[in-house]
Structure formats: C-alpha cells, structure tokens
C-alpha cells in the first residue's frame, strides 16, 4: 500500500495506489436543514440516467430518513459494525484526538488486518443482498423511541426545546461522492474504474467491467451498483456532459452547469462546484470560491463518515435539531461548531447561502455588496448559550467559468404585491 495524505482525517493513510489529483474536483455542499424530502432530485436523476431495463431498483441519487432509513438497508450501520469488529480484534478504537486527527483505522487499513468472508483484501466492505436494494424509502419519517413525558392520551406533554430535540429525524441526500481516494477504484481487479484528470469524476469503464461487483462490495456509501440485465456495474457519472458544458440547449455558451439532481432541487439545499486542487491533494486556496469558503474557511460543511477514509467530496451542513453524538459519528468532529456557525450565521455565510440553487451555471467566484441591517435577534447555540444575530440585506453576485456574472440576488427576497385587477391570474 502507498501512503497518501487525507486532509479529512488529518493524517497520512494507507491506500492501494499513489495519490493522483485532478486539476479541479467535482464537489458540493448540501444544507440538510432545508431538505423537505420531496425527492425531486431523485426523480430528476432517475428520469435522466436509470430508466432502462435492469435499472429498476437503481437510484444513483436517493434521499433517506435518518436514523432508520437507508438505501441499501442499514448500509452505514453494517459498515460501522464491520469496522468496529476490525478495531476490537486489534484492540484499537475509532476515536479522534484533540487536533481532529482520526486515530482509528480506515476501511483500507482495516482490510489489511481483517479479511472479509470472500477474501477481499484491499477494502473492508460487504456485498448487500438483492432484497436490501428494494425499498429506498424504508424508515421514512420514522423518529426513534423517545423518553419524553406523555399525558394520559399518549400525547407528548413536555415542550421540545433547542438546542437538540429528544426525538428527531432528518433527511440525508446521497449520491456518489466522487471520492479523492475511491474505494470502488481501489477494489476493482480489472482496473475498470478511473478518476478523470479534469474534474475528479469517478467513472466505470463499461467495456472493461466484467461485473465482479468488487466495487459494490467496497464502496462504503454503496453508490456503485450492479445491473443484472447488462451484468456490469454502474454508478453516478456526475452528469459529466453538463459539467463539460456540452448540452447546447442549456449552455449555449459552453460553460459548466450543475448536475440534474443539483439543478432540480426545490428546497434550494444544494450548491455544486468544481474546486481547484493542488498536486499535494489539498484544495488550492481560493477564498472567492463559495465551496472553498464554506468547507475550508468557515468550516460549516462537513464530509459524510470521514473515518471511512475515502475523502468524499460531498459536504453537509448538519441539522440543528439532531443529537450531537449521532451527528459526530456521521460527520466527524466539528459538528457543534458547524451548527453554531449556521445557527448564528456571519454576514458572509448568510449571503453565500443565497447562492444555493439560485441558477444552473457552476459558480466559480462570488462577490458581496453590502446592504442595510434588516433584522436582529438572539439565538440559542449548542451549549445552550445565547448569541446575537444580525441580518443585513447584502447583495451577492456569482460568476461563471468565463468570469461572466450569472446570478445576482439579495439576502431578503423581494416582495411583490399583486395589483387588485387580475387577482387570480397566474
């Protein structure tokens, strides 16, 4: 195994190949706090890419309800258990130290110690059974049992209070993370999986693949899928024709546009970009890029299960109301800080949040023009303390790949009053 640096676990780790990094990396931030589980993203993806024979149960994009939902069933719990067993057998623990460095083993390191049943030795994983892929919405809207006081009629008699609810659920939006150290790629004995140099998109070469399903077994997020009809594996392709600006109907100028799932998001929870990478595997400093600002400067968006070690490139603003211990297991250290930053957003964060789904072209740079103060209030932080929040009606401008303005919006949505005539017209 080679040594590579994984910035999400803040240490070198073992990976079957030497690190090789693209010029730009496909990345995205999802604001969990705003998702309404309408599944518009899911259907936009399905109707574009997975509507053929053999793809009936294939959802490259899915939105599941946590803690009980999962597609395939219990994918994260199953992998966490495998990882725990590997740690137990080595008398190690899956902990993070004070500097946010992960002390435990990743799925690559655990595989060196703990072979799975069928002898897979490069990545710790498991192959879900067919039935586990059949119900993408299992557990939808189901909160865990709660010890809240109830009245004689069985209704909750205690008010639910922030900072976190005793009973909770939230929606987790999932697609391939186009990881920097893809487990699917590491496990493929045919070398059929590759990461594109121009945008870091991870693809399966359909001609080389022989359907051994090693990628399905290895991907910790279970985002490589097997097509029983064609007998080869498939996965999200990050709508690369759109990233390349090749769809003349939507990009006559040939600039990059967001994927189908991103650009159809009704809840305006998604912001997708192509971030600059440097050859040491880190994101190049680019504070005018909204994704760089959210992930590396403000640190309000966190990766999903960073301890798995694949360095995923989809980042999440964690939900305010869910228990912090559950969220820390899912997003690693930094959850409380991220939630507090979102709860009392800085002036810049408030403006950048307006860019989410404001238009279709990929935003490479933003600029803020200051406006007047419009609102002031006190909010409750994770530790129960209070903080003052001031909101300004700033204007944010986004620029596309060619440096042209592609969006201009304000923090406060303008209100239009309908004229008395044509009252019901649309």
Q: Helix, strand or coil for residue 112?
A: helix
The answer to whether the beta carbons of residues 306 and 298 sit under 8 Å apart is: no
Q: Which residue shows structure tokens 């069933």? A: 73
Confirm or reject binding of residue 269 to ligand SF4 (CB under 6 A). yes
Q: How far is the CB of 104 from ligand SF4 (least distance, A)?
A: 19
Q: Which residue shows structure tokens 């408030």? A: 350
Confirm or reject binding of residue 33 to ligand SF4 (CB under 6 A). no
For the record, the structure tokens of 150 come out as 């109830």
Question: What character string, x for contact with ligand SF4 (CB under 6 A) and - otherwise, covers 234-253?
Answer: -x------------------
Confirm or reject binding of residue 40 to ligand SF4 (CB under 6 A). yes
Confirm or reject binding of residue 126 to ligand SF4 (CB under 6 A). no
Helices (H) and strands (E) in the chain, counts: 11, 17
Q: How far is the CB of 267 from ligand SF4 (least distance, A)?
A: 3
Confirm or reject binding of residue 255 to ligand SF4 (CB under 6 A). no
Q: How far is the CB of 175 from ligand SF4 (least distance, A)?
A: 8
Q: Residue 121: how many CB atoms within 10 A of its CB?
A: 12
Let me know the angle formed at the C-alpha of 266 by 263 and 267, rounded to the nearest 5 degrees.
115
The answer to whether the beta carbons of residues 305 and 76 sit under 8 Å apart is: yes
Among 69, 136, 163, 182, binds ligand SF4 (CB under 6 A): 182
Confirm or reject binding of residue 122 to ligand SF4 (CB under 6 A). no
Confirm or reject binding of residue 48 to ligand SF4 (CB under 6 A). no
Site for ligand SF4 in 217-236 (CB under 6 A): 219, 221, 223-224, 235
CB nearer to ligand SF4: pick between 172 and 338: 172
Among 9, 27, 41, 304, binds ligand SF4 (CB under 6 A): 41
Give the list of residues 6+ apart from residue 314 with CB closer than 8 angstroms, or none: 27, 28, 29, 30, 175, 177, 178, 303, 304
Q: Helix, strand or coil for residue 207?
A: coil
Chain contacts with ligand SF4 (rule: CB under 6 A): 35-41, 63, 173, 176-179, 182-184, 202, 219, 221, 223-224, 235, 265-267, 269, 310
């Amino acid at each position: 195994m080679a040594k590579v640096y994984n910035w999400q676990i803040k240490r070198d780790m073992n990976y079957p190949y030497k690190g090789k990094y693209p010029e730009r990396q496909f990345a995205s931030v999802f604001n969990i706090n705003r998702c309404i589980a309408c599944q518009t993203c899911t259907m936009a993806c399905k109707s574009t890419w997975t509507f053929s024979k053999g793809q009936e149960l294939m959802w490259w994009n899915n939105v599941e309800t946590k803690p009980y939902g999962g597609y395939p069933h219990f994918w994260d719990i199953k992998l966490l258990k495998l990882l725990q067993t590997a740690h137990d057998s080595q008398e190690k623990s899956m902990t993070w130290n004070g500097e946010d460095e992960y002390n435990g083993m990743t799925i690559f390191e655990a595989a060196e110690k703990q072979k799975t049943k069928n002898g897979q030795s490069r990545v710790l994983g498991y192959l879900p059974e067919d039935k586990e892929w059949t119900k993408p919405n299992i557990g939808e809207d189901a909160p865990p049992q709660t010890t809240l006081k109830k009245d004689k009629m069985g209704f909750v008699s205690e008010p639910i209070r922030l900072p976190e609810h005793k009973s909770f659920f939230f929606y987790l939006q999932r697609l391939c993370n186009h990881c920097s150290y893809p487990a699917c790629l590491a496990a493929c004995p045919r070398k059929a999986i590759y990461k594109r140099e121009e945008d870091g998109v991870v693809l399966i070469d359909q001609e080389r693949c022989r359907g051994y399903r090693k990628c399905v077994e290895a991907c910790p997020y279970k985002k490589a899928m097997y097509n029983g009809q064609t007998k080869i594996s498939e996965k999200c392709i990050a709508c690369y024709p759109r990233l390349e600006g090749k769809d003349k109907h939507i990009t006559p100028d040939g600039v990059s546009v967001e994927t189908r799932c991103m650009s159809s998001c009704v809840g305006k929870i998604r912001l997708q970009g192509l971030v600059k990478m440097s050859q040491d595997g880190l994101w190049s400093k680019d504070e005018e890029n909204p994704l760089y600002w959210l992930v590396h400067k403000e640190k309000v968006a966190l990766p999903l299960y960073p301890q798995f070690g694949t360095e995923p490139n989809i980042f999440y603003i964690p939900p305010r109301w869910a228990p912090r211990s559950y969220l820390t297991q899912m997003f690693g250290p930094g959850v409380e800080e991220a939630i507090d930053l979102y709860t009392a957003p800085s002036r810049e964060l408030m403006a950048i949040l307006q860019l989410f789904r404001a238009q279709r072209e990929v935003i490479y740079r933003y600029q803020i023009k200051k406006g007047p103060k419009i609102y002031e209030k006190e909010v409750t932080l994770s530790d129960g303390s209070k903080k003052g929040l001031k909101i300004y009606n700033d204007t944010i401008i986004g620029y596309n790949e060619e440096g042209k303005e592609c969006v201009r919006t304000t923090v406060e949505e303008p209100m239009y009053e309908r004229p008395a005539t044509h009252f019901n017209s649309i």
